[in-house]
Structure 1
Amino acid sequence: MSRNDALRAARLRRGWRTVEQAASGLQAHGQQLLDDVHFTVSARTWRRWEGERPGWPAEETAAVLHDALGRWPEDLGFTTPPGWIRPDHHEEADVRRRQFVTVTAAALMPGPVTTQHVDPALITYFQEQLEGHYRADMFLGPHDLIGTVSAQYQLIDKLVRSAKGETRRGLLRVGAAYAALVGWLYQDAGDLGAAAFWRGVTQEIAVRSRDPHLIGYSLVNQAQVRTDLGDGYGVIDLCEAALDDADRVVPKVRIMAMQQQAHGASLTGDRTSVDQLIDRAAGLVGCVDDDLPWGNAVRRTPGYLEVQRATCYGRLGLGAEAGALWNQVLDAVPATARRDRGVYMARHATAAAAAREPEQALEIARSVVAIAVETGSARMRRELATLERAMRPWHDAPVGRDLAEILVPVTEGS
């Protein structure tokens, strides 16, 4: 790219319409922040920052930019010098590390443990609790549930070490479902490293349970992380492995593997495979009749497969076709499912931008931002970042400036 669009977008979000306004505004901000009347920023300097070679600002200027725009220079398109560590980096990393270590202890509790009698009724108890966690996730988002669900996983793991026979296998199965949920919560919170760790825990327990349905489900879980990482061929490999012995797994697992493989196909630009896989999965929906406590989005989510198709179409750049599907899907999504609805609406807005309908994208985005702030979903924020990129052709137009202002609550400080 021939210009620093990241800084330019931040300037517009701040309300500085020209580089002259930006230079003057940052200078005033810096003089007040530093209590230094000699702090200066010229329009020429700002123009260079928005150019092809923005360089790197002085240390005190970097601090002023962060205070004024809510982002450090490396997030504003500047050329990061070797060895630069932003002032708040260590503190943020320490907080994330402490949280991850605390929660991960649930998966790595040392043994042996004191032997105790384990009543088989506990399997039903944890299954019922799991369904409640799924429902709570729809309303609360990831951050409030990670600690609760991982603590219950820790209890299940403790019981597994004492249980025997069918009770032990039953607890392994429900434990894998809890680990999968923790992995999903981390994925929704934007921590793909922690998500991958817990997806690995899920797969280990699934293999130990000898349950072919759960092993297939764990492979689809791994594929979900690869999807977020943009690794289309990795997604396809994992889903093909889940389908290698398709006759041994329930239709629900096959549906999940096929729709996730469609996401992999969309990442590799293969629209034909996207449609074929989702059509094959649709033919199995009427066969889903298991009572397994996990993976029930197939039945619970309105228009589940069309959601996947619309998402794949959007990824392929098929704006008009994706937009038409999103209109159908959103009509069926209840208002109570706010987080899912917010994600779908953000994808709908991106599809509208791809279809050259920026005003429609803007109107949809207004509602999405409120949901993103309320739920704290990193997944929704990523979708809004995708929308922001799709709207770049209208940066200079009023609709582009309006979008920059609308997105401030979800972009400032990120």
Structure 2
Amino acid sequence: MSRPAGNTRLKAARMAAGYNSQQALADAITKAAPKLGIRGLAVGVRQVRRWESATPPWPQPDVHRVLTHLLGQSMEDLGFTPPWGVERRQPETTAGHSSHRRLSGTRLASVPAQSATATQPASIGSDFEAITRSHRHLYWSVAPATLHPAVMEHARLGCALLPETANPTRRILAAALAESYLLAGRIEFFDLRQPDQASDTLLRALQAAGEADDSLLGSAVLAHMAFIPGWAGDRDAAVERMVAARAYARREDASSELWAWLDAVEAECETRCGNSRTALQLISHAEDTLAAGSERPTPVWMDWFSPVRLAAFKGNTQLKAGHYPQARESLGQVLNDLPPTSDKQRTVILGDLAAVEAADNRPEEACRYATQALDQLAITWYATGMDRVREVRRTLTPWQNEQCVRDLDDRLYDWGTTVSALQR
């Protein structure tokens, strides 16, 4: 018998904001109130538990103010129903209008709760899931700026259908919706370098995973959310989200591949925050986890990780740690082992190999790898790969009068590459 889902919207927003327990949110509300000019307000864990129940009571005005301040969403978006009722959002009639709203920074609609009656057939879940699966496959070859609008419109369709379904179809639909939002968030963060928009989209993915009661999807979403502060150098926020991701993974006994990937994500965050030794320890633990294996299957949607990808994480960490011979060996092996469909990852590996050669005072080799990365980017755009090339060019400043660096500049700043980069 499945347990009641409760107010999954508030749970998702709490976890995304870094409050890993109900007590942590209660303490944060009590602490934030005086800063907002509210005196004498104290909230206990029992109250937060009531808010996260299936029928959350509408908070008092002062609590309302602090709660929306901390979590950055309206009360309706947090799963509360006001005593005076709630108006239905008007649907967006054209794709152009919805695109304008998205690009102008308007917050995405929350994942809706279940309605009183189900009007969609049982097949709607598998039908919606089939399109989500196709988008997952298309990600590896379709230009991100082309695929992203299609994924977002598909997610909006899922939000419209979700209130019209009942379990078990609802759980199937919600899980596919969570995966769609996760894919959109991945595109926004890794391909388009829009971390703020990715944060908002990933929060919707977490809400949908909560509606599906899919802890493994929730773990994957939270780990992706850790990348955002991790890449910005905010270690505390990244670690908090990784703690939450591991807690979710334990609920369904995750596969060895998922556990190893969580180590790899945390390792990259630690590397970005300057803690290479800790990162290498996490990579070593991930290698041991993969070697041990497990009987649990890896979710079909987790197609972004493999032993080769773990070696890529390792090579980057070795590079940042200054272990250049080891990084050269690891990354060179990855380049040989990458499957033909991993063109996006190939640009990152080529960029890291270029960085190794630049750090080892070999500018000609660095320029050769960087040029290969640019050749691949001309075929398959990947903002993270371009970031790697630009980082390498900055390190080549001592050799900027060398012919190889001038040739790289001609390639890096030709008409097509410059316009393409600025467009994105």
Matches within 5 A, 1:77-226: 98=100, 100-101=102-103, 107=109, 117-187=119-189, 188-226=191-229
1:385 and 2:387 aligned: no
Q: CA RMSD in A?
A: 3.0
Does 1:307 pair with 2:312? yes
Q: Bigger shift: 334-343 or 188-197?
A: 334-343
SS at 1:138's partner residue? coil
Of the three residues 228, 232, 238, the one matched with 1:235 is: 238
Sort the Cα spacing of 1:241 and 1:95 in 2 relative to 1 into closer, same or farther, 3 A.
same
Identity %: 21
Residues 268/109 of structure 1: CA separation in 2 closer, same or farther (3 Å cut)? closer
In 2: Cα distance, 1:239 partner to 1:328 partner: 29
Q: 1:110 to 1:157 in 2, by over 3 A?
A: closer
> Structure 1 residues 242 and 373, CA, compared in 2 at 3 Å: closer, same or farther?
same
Secondary structure at 1:145 match in 2: helix
Kindly indicate whether the alpha-carbon contact (under 8 Å) linking 1:335 and 1:341 is maintained by their aligned counterparts in 2: no
Structure-1 residue corresponding to 2:304: 297
| TM-fit CA distance, 1:239 | 1.0
Residues matched between the structures, number:
319
2 CA distance for matches of 1:240 and 1:306?
23
Which residue pairs with 1:287 in the alignment?
294
Contact 1:232 1:263 (C-alpha < 8 Å) held by counterparts: no
The answer for the alignment partner of 1:320 in structure 2 is: 325
Q: 1:108 to 1:215 in 2, by over 3 A?
A: closer
Q: 1:337 to 1:244 in 2, by over 3 A?
A: closer
Residues 233 and 385 of structure 1: CA distance in aligned 2, closer, same or farther (over 3 Å): farther
Which shows bigger deviation, 351-360 or 284-293? 284-293
- 3-state SS of the aligned residue for 2:305? helix
> Which amino acid in 1 is paired with 2:140?
M
**Aligned mates of 2:221, 2:176 — CA distance in 1:** 13
3-state SS, counterpart of residue 119 of structure 2: coil
Q: In structure 2, what is the equivalent of residue 24 of structure 1? A: none
Match of 2:372 among 367, 371, 379: 367
Q: How far does residue 376 in structure 1 lie from its aligned partner after superposition?
A: 3.1
1:40 counterpart residue number: none
Q: Tell me, in whole angstroms, the C-alpha distance in 2 between the residues paired with 1:106 and 1:193.
A: 12
What SS class does the counterpart of residue 233 from structure 2 fall into?
coil
Deviations 1:214-273, CA, capped at 9 Å, x for gaps: 221121010122233333333222112222465324124322221111112212332332
**For 2:339, which of 309, 334, 337 is the aligned residue?**
334
Q: Secondary structure at the match of 2:182?
A: helix
Per the TM alignment, residue 373 of structure 1 is displaced from its structure 2 partner at its CA by 2.7
Q: What is the TM-score when the length of structure 1 is the normalising length?
A: 0.69
Q: Deviations over 1:122-170 (max 9, x none)?
A: 3333333333222211112311111111111112212211111222122
User: Deviation per CA, 1:92-140, whole angstroms, max 9, x where unpaired?
Assistant: xx99982725997874588998965333333333333333222211112
Q: 1:207 to 1:111 in 2, by over 3 A?
A: closer
Is the contact made by 1:109 and 1:154 (CA closer than 8 Å) also made in structure 2?
A: no
Cα deviation, residue 334, structure 1:
2.7
Q: Cα 1:209–1:242, aligned 2, differ >3 Å: closer, same or farther?
A: same
The structure with the largest alpha-carbon Rg is: 1
CA contact (8 A) 2:125 2:173 kept: yes
